[in-house]
Structure 1
């Protein structure tokens, strides 16, 4: 009671309380709805800059339409929601304050129906309607500032506050909002699904799909000695082990029509037919230890066994066992200078002692040096008004001389795309196939362009991981 009176007193004193749209309760909130919308509006272009919007207007319109149908039944139907498919291979979805919601094409590839997609979108709408970003920011700020009157009062969103909000939201996008908030979003998403005419049990289908994908990713990561990456939040939990989740789905089922609409599998598959799978041409294509970029017109090859990670702003290369790392990034060329002069002026490397190189006739310079006290190498290559910077470092347990020699060779192998490589710079795409009698995933894998364990990936895409075979007449997702 004392705590309640204290918080209530603070709310009255600071005018920092608001009514939660979902619960109807008064609670402390250090951000108004107008500020919340402003944060989402300001961050939206940054999200698109980092990930890129997937270039398929028909798919974007389809996702927007399904999202709007759900949002119309939400606790904050007054907001204008924007649903965006981002051009990322990540298995993820996330929301910004004010109604900005994102789903990756990487996640769409593994879903099996419109109802499952609606389950993901409904979950993210729940984060917006329950103001989870605001509540998490408020809690983090209150804890940090010790609940003192002078510190809690926030008349506006200054630069420091905006940076704090960015930090809270960034963490939430990566790891979720915490179990209680995730469960609340599951319940809200299930409610919105039911009211929109979908079966809320579709959420269990999403969970099973993502659990299977997570199991596969974990096995692959373990074999490669790295941490797995998977969808954030409670959706990563196994549904059979979560009684509370089942309870919220059961509760929502009473809101559904007696006969929920078709789960929309055919419509969903139609819209993802032809969708890029894996790397896109705009981001560059990984083929084992080789990298091809169609739009920037270059290719290069890393040492055998090195694993490539394609980030929005750079390409990472990691040696087996993590004993060495390299990254390739680019910067605009703005004045006429040599690669060595660029290395000194733009990279801040004083007196680099190295050598001029000319991979495929391109101007370049490479030098061995120390990077944070470790043996490394930096190479700069000019191509099409861009300076490509390849930086590498040998870590604990590595043969630093061997790593250095390999990275020099990688720099020397940088070249414009050859005619025979242009097809390798084009992305893989999802296609639909009707299963015939005798079809198996093993047989389909033999003709697939999927790298690695193609059979396991085809099972994942079609909801049959780790076992199971297609039946005649099944519409299958394949990759070509």
Structure 2
């Protein structure tokens, strides 16, 4: 106990000494509060960080190619930025071509929202709430403050270990990591609440209802509840929501308080929430998979660029990852994963499995001939469980299937479904090209014959289509369509 106390006090003295000596660049005025923040980056460096990382974000996610929608989001964002604490910055608002539900900001005024996020919003005010929250991160310099804290923690231990021998022990390093980690996680929690407060203020100043901030939190909580239910259906543990507002405080009272405090900034002219205006703007927007990543359509999958298609077992959950397809049976009882790899040598599918997959012993191996394509399949063992491996050649690529079960005793039960999936693989036919086109949001006026179950039956949405349609329209988990309302369906 005495060693820990001495180490902690020495650490505090060390940090003070470093600040005095100028080894840690000290404080800068917070643009929002006017107080002093500990930062290690000048404003010029902050702006440079945004310029540097912006092209990388675009390369990773892709920019959504709808210039009218991009201009609309830019206009809404600029309206908020004009009343922010850093109205001298040039803000860039970009819609990313990603189905992931998220929004984030880089230092210096680069702000992003995914089309996946926009699909589930239902008014311009909700869009403004998301953008206002991210503007708050920029105006309060959360990015550079967070990074400054991380660098200071690393620098503090490195120099401390040199100057204070007591910090060289493993126990002291663990203590330092806990101390620094708690500090940084605390920053994230407070930053989120501060961004809510700032976002609500910017909403009120620009004529939007500040309560839209709470509505957006509701949208995201519904998404988290849905994700937890989907994970349970797959027999998986829910890991928690890691997207927008991931570090938001659990105490809703504080959120209510900061939003209510924005009332004093309300303008004399109050606009409506812009529901119809927003829905008109996203009418026709791509929903779910992009054509470049291939399209899930019910139990089927179509890839227009790579020109292949296949079918998975009925009622399995299909996940379209950047480099693979994965289908999971209910309760996670079985899994099939498919990927593709370029062919470099003229070798048989059996040789490919042996040489490229490094599977030297394949039991019950047999050649495959399906839909005019050649392949090979057999059984191996991984972690004590039987695994079906299959490879099918299409043009200059090998398509690799790996399938197994949670319980070894269930393998024979699921193996026919594994083989059926492999044998369904084929070069895309002309009559299937339409299914490789992206699904899009369609905004319609509901009539008395419409229902979520009816819409779901006619949609191509994979994985719980009724609940996804409810989420799109703010009716999750049990709401129903109302005649005369504007609603989003997927076609």
* Normalised TM-score (structure 2): 0.79
Q: Does 1:11 align with 2:19?
A: yes
The secondary structure found in structure 2 opposite 1:331 is strand
Deviation at 1:309, TM superposition (A): 0.8
Q: Matched residue of 2:426: which SS? A: coil
Task: Report the number of matched residues.
Answer: 457
CA contact (8 A) 2:24 2:40 kept: no
What SS does the corresponding residue of 1:178 show, helix, strand or coil? helix
Instruction: Tell me: CA distance 1:469–1:288, structure 2 relative to 1, closer, same or farther (3 Å).
Output: closer
> In structure 2, which of residues 323, 326, 330 is the aligned counterpart of residue 320 of structure 1?
330
Q: Per-residue deviation at 1:334? A: 4.7
8 Å CA contact retained: 1:299, 1:417 = yes
User: Using a 3 Å threshold, how does the CA distance of structure 1 residues 370 and 11 change in structure 2: closer, same or farther?
Assistant: farther
Look up the match of 1:192. Answer: 202
Deviation at 1:412, TM superposition (A): 2.9
Q: For the residues of structure 2 that align with 1:11 and 1:249, how far apart are their CA atoms?
A: 37
User: Which whole-Å CA distance do the structure 2 matches of 1:284 and 1:298 have between them?
Assistant: 9
For the Cα contact (< 8 Å) 2:296–2:460, is it kept in 1?
A: no
1:150 offset after TM fit, Å?
6.9
Tell me which of 407, 417, 431 is aligned to 2:442.
Answer: 431
Q: How does 1:115-264 map to 2 (within 5 A)?
A: 115-144=125-154, 146-149=156-159, 178-228=188-238, 230=241, 232=243, 234=245, 242-264=252-274
SS state at 1:478 partner: strand
Mapped to 2, the partners of 1:212 and 1:88 lie a distance apart of 20
Q: Displacement, 1:449?
A: 5.0
Answering whether residue 428 of structure 2 is matched by residue 417 of structure 1, we say yes
Q: CA deviation at 1:341?
A: 4.8
- Residues 81 and 150 from structure 1, CA distance in 2 versus in 1: closer, same or farther, beyond 3 angstroms? farther
* CA shift digits 1:121-170 (9 cap, x unpaired): 11122223323333333334444555453789xxxxxxxxxxxxxxxxxx
SS in 1 for 2:195: helix
- Tell me, yes or no, if the aligned pair for 1:356 and 1:365 is still in contact at 8 Å: yes
Q: CA deviation at 1:268?
A: 1.2
1:308 is displaced (CA, Å) by 1.3
Q: 2:368 aligns with which of 357, 376, 382?
A: 357
Contact kept in structure 1, 2:116 and 2:287, CA below 8 Å = yes
**Residues 193 and 249 in structure 2, CA contact (< 8 A), matched pair in contact too:** no
Larger CA deviation: 22-31 vs 273-282: 22-31
1:111 to 121, 126, 142: 121
Alignment of 1:399-478 (within 5 A): 399-403=410-414, 406-436=417-447, 441=452, 448-450=459-461, 454-466=465-477, 470-478=481-489
Q: Would you say the 8 A contact 1:90–1:230 is kept in 2?
A: no
The CA deviation at 1:183 is 0.5
Q: Is residue 299 from structure 1 mapped to residue 316 from structure 2 by the alignment?
A: no
Tell me the SS of whatever aligns to 2:340. Answer: strand
The alpha-carbon deviation at position 415 of structure 1 amounts to 0.5
2:427 counterpart SS class:
coil
Matching of residues 32-71 of structure 1 within 5 Å: 32-71=42-81
Partner of 2:75, secondary structure, is: helix
C-alpha contact (below 8 Å) 2:340/2:400 kept by paired residues: yes
Q: Distance in 1 between matches of 2:353 and 2:43?
A: 47
Structure 1 residues 76, 393: CA separation in 2 closer, same or farther (over 3 Å shift)?
farther
CA-CA distance at 1:389 after TM superposition: 2.4
24 and 344 in structure 1: CA distance in 2 versus 1, 3 angstrom threshold: farther
Query: Structure 1's 184 and 277: CA in aligned 2 closer, same or farther, altered over 3 A?
Result: same
Summarize the Cα distance change of 1:342–1:86 in structure 2 as closer, same or farther, 3 Å threshold.
farther
Whether the 8 Å CA contact 1:324–1:398 is kept in 2: the answer is no
Calculate the aligned-residue CA RMSD, in Å: 3.6
What is the match of residue 280 of structure 2?
270
SS in 1 for 2:289: coil
Tell me how far apart the structure 1 counterparts of residues 103 and 205 of structure 2 sit (CA, whole Å): 22
Distance change in 2, residues 1:246/1:65 (3 Å): same
Aligned to 2:399: 388
CA distance in 1, matches of 2:213, 2:405: 45
Query: Within 2, Cα distance between the matches of 1:217 and 1:344?
Result: 39
| Residues 396/451 of structure 1: CA separation in 2 closer, same or farther (3 Å cut) | closer
Q: Do the aligned partners of 1:176 and 1:182 also contact (CA within 8 Å) in 2?
A: no
Change in CA separation of 1:42 and 1:389 when aligned onto 2, cut-off 3 Å: farther
Between the aligned partners of 2:448 and 2:25, the Cα distance in structure 1 is: 65
Q: Which runs of 5+ in 1 are unaligned?
A: 153-174
Q: Which residue among 98, 104, 124 is the counterpart of 1:94?
A: 104
Whole-angstrom CA distance in 1 between matches of 2:387 and 2:405: 6
